[in-house]
Amino acid sequence: MAVSKQTIDRLAAYSDGIMAVVATLLVLGIAVPEDHQFSEQGLLLFLVKVRHDVGAYALSFLIITSYWIQHHAIFLFLHHANRTFAWLNFVFLFFVTLLPFATKLLSVYRQDYFAFLIYGLLQVACGVLLSVLWLYANGQHRLVAVKLDADAMRSMTIRMLLGPIINLVAVGISMVSLPVGVAMFLGVPLLNLSHRRVDSSLRQLAD
98-110 residue pLDDT tens: 999 999 999 888 8
Backbone dihedral angles phi then psi of residue 81, each to the nearest 5 degrees: -145, 175
Lowest mean pLDDT among 62-71, 144-153, 175-184, 186-195: 144-153
Residue 31 is predicted with a pLDDT of 75
On whether the CB atoms of residues 123 and 167 are closer than 8 A, the answer is: yes
Per-residue pLDDT, averaged over 14-43, amounts to 81
Q: pLDDT band at residue 200, thresholds of 50, 70 and 90? A: low
Residue 91: pLDDT above 80?
yes
Tell me the pTM: 0.86
Per-residue pLDDT, averaged over 142-148, amounts to 73
Measure the CA–CA gap between 174 and 116, rounded to whole angstroms. 8
Residue 102 is predicted with a pLDDT of 95
Rg value, the chain, Cα:
19
The proportion of the chain whose per-residue pLDDT surpasses 70, expressed as a percent, equals: 85
Locate the domains of the chain by residue range: 2-29+52-206
CA distances from 135 to 29, 31, 85, 145, 154 (A): 34, 40, 10, 14, 10
Measure the CA–CA gap between 148 and 189, rounded to whole angstroms. 25
Per-residue pLDDT, averaged over 151-161, amounts to 84
Of 7 and 10, more confident: 10
Contacts of 179 (CB under 8 A, 6+ apart): none
Contacts of 57 (CB under 8 A, 6+ apart): 26, 27, 29, 30, 103, 107
Residue 1: pLDDT above 60?
no
Residue 150 is predicted with a pLDDT of 76
Q: Which of the listed ranges 31-45, 80-94, 146-160 does the model predict with the highest average pLDDT?
A: 80-94
Residue 87 is predicted with a pLDDT of 95
